[in-house]
Amino acid sequence: MKSFTKTILRMFKENKGRFIANFLIVFLSVAITAGFAFLVPLYEHSYLENYQNNHTADIILKDKTTNGFSRYDIEKVKEDDNVYDATTFMCADCEYEDSERGTQIYRFYIMDLKSKLNELKLESGKFPDKEYDLSKEVDVVTEVGNANLNSYDIGDKIVVDDSLLRFIQQDTMTLNVVGVVNNPLYNCVQKENATVLDKKTGEVKEDTYINAIIYLDRELFPETMDYYGTPYPVENFLLQTDMYISYKEKSSYFSSAYENEMNQKKAELLETFGGEDKIAVLTLEENISYSLFKNYNSKVRSLSFIFPFFFILVCALVNLITITRLIKEERPMIATYVSLGVSKGKIVLKYFLFTLISTLFGSVLGMALGSPILPGVVLPAYGAVFQMHPLDFKIQSPYAYIVAVLVVLTALIVTILSSTSYLKETPAALMKEKSPKPGKKIFLQRITFLWKRLPFRFKSSFRNIFRQKKNLILTSLSIIGSTLLVLIGFSLFDVSFALQEDVLFGNVASSMGVISLVIILFAIAMAIVVIYSLANMNIADRQRELATLKVLGYHDRECSFYTFREIMFISLLAVIIGIPVSTLIITFVLQYLDFGTIGDVKWYSYLGTFLIITFTTLFVNLLLFPKIKAVNMNDSLKIID
């Protein structure tokens, strides 16, 4: 094996800690960003199974007159060649006093239950199959029960009065539940607003919601019904108050193109039926399930755009510190390479490979684990709000791959720039250890009364911190980035909790809390890895100093404090600066998401962020104590030789 190749392998062996830290930082970054990127298309595909293959209604017409819709109206709609089908039905909200449940509002649908347009999916039981005898029990099906709808079992009886079907001669009607169905238009647990009139004022009651949805089969009513001595065809007497319309060719759901197409159809239908005084035209944008999912998924999509930026930034900063310190340690080695005629390209390739392998492995593993695991972990949060189908992990997300490539490319660019800067120096200059910058008075030294009272160990720590300004800035920025990620997670959780009482966003906010917990866990893991990496590199840089202190009689614990004191000071400074900076950034993030305000963030979230970063630093210092204890005085003092 060639000598140069051997030195590359030795570099990997001697820098295992840096390699693993680099790998973990990239892994965590790609795992969460790829997970969020895959989550959006995966969940859209799963949710849209409710709409696919059953010709869900794109538009609902509601009659505002007392005439209802006729077969002629259906034919007018079908004059549009792009209409797949149109069907009419009766829909009414009725309020009843139930002896067991109290005041109940039922939404009744009288329709063709076997229609393939907006097809009802039978979950259990059967559809009604015997002709209705209104003097006896009437077989019905109810919609799937959830957190906001009454749950009925097969065989349950529901007694209602005759306010819905005016032609019934009895005072009451008994409904017999024979089946439970799922309507593709109503597939979330969000409360559905009811339209019932106040008996005193005659106006629509506010803040009223549907308690149960009941379906009667229009096809099972008698062909004619004698009302005041006059025979009426059922299709005329059962006023067709609503109409479903489905189109053949249309853009993808949730897209702006689909929204624009349906708005165009809405305008055409209003013109056809005489304007807004005659009918109301509702697109899926007005459907509570559709609009809620669209709103929810847009927030998750926004998170998937926001997070990569911060994670890539932290990755780049830590990689810059890692590779800069690695190259700095190998200055004499680089000089030897140049003296022996090794090309600059080969020298750059050595560090390029170190970065490429660590980041590439991190990206591949992050994609492999983050893309299926994160959607799986968050799925219960979605499932608590929407009716979801099994996830199809064959769905791909180009955005996830773009993020992974960006992480790797950013790290490689940083490596190339760092390594080429050292190759500008002559071999003779590289052979010498780079002279430290001349000492200058730091700000604290100018505060004489305070400086005089500081112990020597603190004076030396402060001078070391501010003497290496580049290291201070890069380390501080890395910790500020970690602080931001942790505080974003806590902020989303607080906002989610604050919005739980909101009628529109209550369920969404509750489930968003689960997503925020995932973010918090990843952010804490990222903070641990970042601080560990920085502290580990700090020890590697100070090997000679630590050995000198041991020769002078310092104990292991004193040597540890000498090193760890600096990283603690930097961490405290960074988190103190990071919290207000993060607060400002989070203010804009919440505005961008249109999800709560910074005022919803609790004081203990700021305190929790401060404590997490602080205790993480202490924890890392304890983990690295054995490494300082293992510093060999003789070997360390010979480093330059």
Give the tens place of pLDDT for each residue, 199-256.
Answer: 777 787 888 888 899 999 988 876 644 443 444 444 445 678 899 999 999 999 999 9
| pLDDT score of 155 more than 70 | yes
What is the DSSP code (8-state) at residue 455? -
Burial class (CB in 10 A: 0-12, 13-18, 19+), 109: buried
| pLDDT score of 60 more than 90 | yes
- Residue 283 domain-assigned (yes or no): no
Instruction: Number of helices (H) and strands (E) in the chain: give both, helices first.
Output: 19, 12
- 389-417 pLDDT, tens digit per residue, is 888 888 878 888 888 888 888 888 888 88
Domain interval for residue 315: 1-51+304-435
- Residue 486 domain-assigned (yes or no): yes
* Domain identity same for 623 and 478: yes
* Domain identity same for 46 and 58: no
* Domain identity same for 191 and 156: yes
The number of domains in the chain is 3
Distance from C-alpha of 400 to C-alpha of 138, rounded to nearest angstrom: 54
* Domain identity same for 508 and 424: no
* Domain identity same for 544 and 638: yes
Mean pLDDT of 32-43: 86
Distance from C-alpha of 262 to C-alpha of 250, rounded to nearest angstrom: 9
Identify the H or E element spanning 17: helix 16-47
* Domain identity same for 335 and 404: yes
Q: In terms of pLDDT, which residue wins out, 168 or 158?
A: 158
- 565-608 pLDDT, tens digit per residue, is 888 888 888 999 999 999 999 998 888 888 888 998 999 999 99
Closest by CA to 321, choosing from 414, 231, 388, 256, is: 414
- Residue 172 domain-assigned (yes or no): yes
Closest by CA to 582, choosing from 314, 302, 320, 315, is: 314
* Domain identity same for 73 and 199: yes
Instruction: For residue 426, give both structure tokens.
Output: 């002559």
Domain boundary among 435, 452, 484: 435
Distance from C-alpha of 357 to C-alpha of 527, rounded to nearest angstrom: 22
- Residue 275 domain-assigned (yes or no): no
- Residue 288 domain-assigned (yes or no): no
* Domain identity same for 499 and 641: yes
Domain boundary among 410, 435, 460: 435
Contact 137, 170 (CB under 8 A): no
* Domain identity same for 152 and 228: yes
- Residue 284 domain-assigned (yes or no): no
pTM: 0.77
Q: Which of 76-80, 108-112, 380-384, 572-576 has the lowest mean pLDDT?
A: 380-384
Distance from C-alpha of 515 to C-alpha of 384, rounded to nearest angstrom: 13
* Domain identity same for 224 and 239: yes
- Residue 278 domain-assigned (yes or no): no
* Domain identity same for 37 and 72: no
- Residue 458 domain-assigned (yes or no): no
Contact 224, 234 (CB under 8 A): yes
Domain boundary among 419, 435, 451: 435
Mean pLDDT of 58-65: 92
* Domain identity same for 59 and 160: yes
Distance from C-alpha of 538 to C-alpha of 614, rounded to nearest angstrom: 17
Identify the H or E element spanning 542: none
Give percent above pLDDT 90 in the chain: 19
| pLDDT score of 353 more than 70 | yes
Mean pLDDT of 136-156: 84
